[in-house]
Each structure stands twice: as C-alpha cells, then as structure tokens.
Structure 1
C-alpha cells in the first residue's frame, strides 16, 4: 500500500507527503525567479535568486532524508 496523495492528520499534527512538499518548494522557487526576471515586480533579482536557491536546496535535502529513511528498512 502506497502513501496517501493528500494531507492527513497524525496525532495532533498534519502529515503531508514529502513529494508534495518538495514540489511546492520547487514550484515556489520557480515562480519567484519568474517574477524577478519578468520585470513586473520590485523584487531584487540577486536576492530572489539566492532565496530560490535556498528553497531548492531545502527540497533536495528533504528528498535525500526521505530516501535515507526509506532505504534504512524497517526498524525493529
């Protein structure tokens, strides 16, 4: 049985599939870059690029952590 495609409650917290979180971070990063490059906003291109890079790095770290968690096998 696979992971759910939607957010679900776990105890007192909200659980969201990691793939959705990383996709959101990458999409947001791309949107920021698009807005900065389009010239339709007052966003500083260098600052926006740096922040977009941080979001992509965070998404990559989440992916790596999830791969490591799944690869470690069942805990006994």
Structure 2
C-alpha cells in the first residue's frame, strides 16, 4: 500500500490549496491502479467501464497539466 503525503497551503480566505502536480499524480496513480486491477482482479470488473474511467482520470490530469502550463506561460503570471 502506497501512502501519499500531500502538502497543503493555507490561504487568507480559509481555503486550502494542493500543488497541481500532487493532484495529477494522484489521478494518474488511480488510473494505473484500476488498469492493474483489471488484469489481476478476481472480481472480474467490466473492462470497458474500467478503461473508460481510467481514461477520464488520465484526461483530467492532462487537462490540469495543460492549464497549469498555460498559466505559468502567460505574461500576467510573471508579475
């Protein structure tokens, strides 16, 4: 069992932030675990459903990465 340690950043508005790379790493890890379970599971999950769910998680992680890259690359983020 892998234990995750996620740094939390408190803001002035009582919000907590999590670094994007932690979120995308978690999403990709979950997708990989589901795919691994598909190959090694005794419960025989529906392969089409597992593949679709893993794809959604991977796509979401990719979208977050793209948004973060775009934010860091924008001229207003350099201020």
TM-score by length of 1: 0.83
TM-score by length of 2: 0.81
Structure 2 CA distance, aligned partners of 1:6 and 1:74?
A: 26
- Give structure 2 stretches of 5+ with no counterpart: 1-5
Structure 2 CA distance, aligned partners of 1:55 and 1:33?
A: 12
Q: CA RMSD in A?
A: 1.7
Equivalences, count: 72
User: Equivalent residue for 2:7?
Assistant: 6
Runs of 4+ aligned structure 1 residues displaced above 6 Å come to none
User: Equivalent residue for 2:3?
Assistant: none
- Give structure 1 stretches of 5+ with no counterpart: none
